[in-house]
Structure 1
Amino acid sequence: MHNQIAAGDPLVEQVTREMKRIKQDPERRRDYMKYELDLMDARSDGMAIGLAEGKKQGLEQGKQESIVAAAKMLLGLELSRTVIVKQLMSAYDLSSAEAERYLKRAQE
């Protein structure tokens, strides 16, 4: 019974006739193919956007982790807080407040 057409069933015959009629209508075929192509384009665009956003977030997260790691290393060298903040600012092009925030995260 699975994946087999039941011969003589009026509903199956009606659906089959309707499918044949739709398949033979050139306007409907063109519209259906256009719809399918639009779906494929939208899916492709969505995947490209998602990959780009994921890559951007991954790079941003990696950058943040490296800044925290550098701050931990500088803390391990027992440098003064002022020197560490200045080093982070110059190495990663951060503002003073951002460098302080990363230093605080490194101390946690």
Structure 2
Amino acid sequence: MDEMKRENEALRAKLRSCSTLNTFYHETQQEIARLNQLVTSKDGIIADLRARLGKYEKTVVIEGEEPYIVGPSKSLIESLCKEICKLKQKLKDSEVDTAQRLETSKT
């Protein structure tokens, strides 16, 4: 009888562990989906800004003697590119973490 109680407790503990891993897995999937949407959105913004920059690249305004180019600032483009790189890295890290959790849960 004591043997069955211990076995039942072990199975309950294993079930709780599996349930926790399942929850982590689904949360990670949701996070990956959210990050994919964010990356897609940022890629669209960058593409739009690059298109606008290309359109305005040849528009030069001469004020006094110093010409300047009309368009989005270079620092804005650079910061958006850095942000998209960070998001892509976070997405890759999440995918690796999910794969590791999945491997761990299989063993």
TM-score, normalisation: structure 2? 0.51
Residue 25 of structure 2 is matched in structure 1 by 47
**Identical amino acids, percent of aligned pairs:** 10
Kindly provide the amino acid, as one letter, of the partner of residue 51 in structure 2.
Answer: M
State the partner residue of 1:60. Answer: 38
CA distance in 2, matches of 1:31, 1:104: 54
Letter in 1 for 2:23: D
Q: Does 2:72 correspond to 1:101? A: no
Distance 1:28 1:70, change over 3 A: same
When Rg is computed on C-alpha atoms for both structures, the one with the higher figure is 1
SS in 2 for 1:36: helix
Please name the residue that 1:88 is paired with: none
Using the TM superposition, give the Cα deviation of residue 101 of structure 1 relative to its aligned residue in structure 2, in angstroms. Answer: 2.4
1:14-29 → structure 2 map (5 Å cutoff): 25-29=3-7
5+ residue gaps, structure 2: 60-69, 82-107
Query: After the TM superposition, which segments of 4 or more aligned residues of structure 1 sit over 3 Å from their partners?
Result: 102-106
8 Å Cα contact 1:68/1:103 also seen in 2: no
Query: For residues 75 and 56 of structure 1, what CA distance do their matches in structure 2 show?
Result: 28
More strand by share: 2
Which one has more relative contact order, counting CA pairs under 8 Å at least 6 apart?
2
How many positions carry a matched residue from both structures?
Answer: 68
- Structure 1 residues without counterparts, runs of 5 or longer: 1-20, 86-99
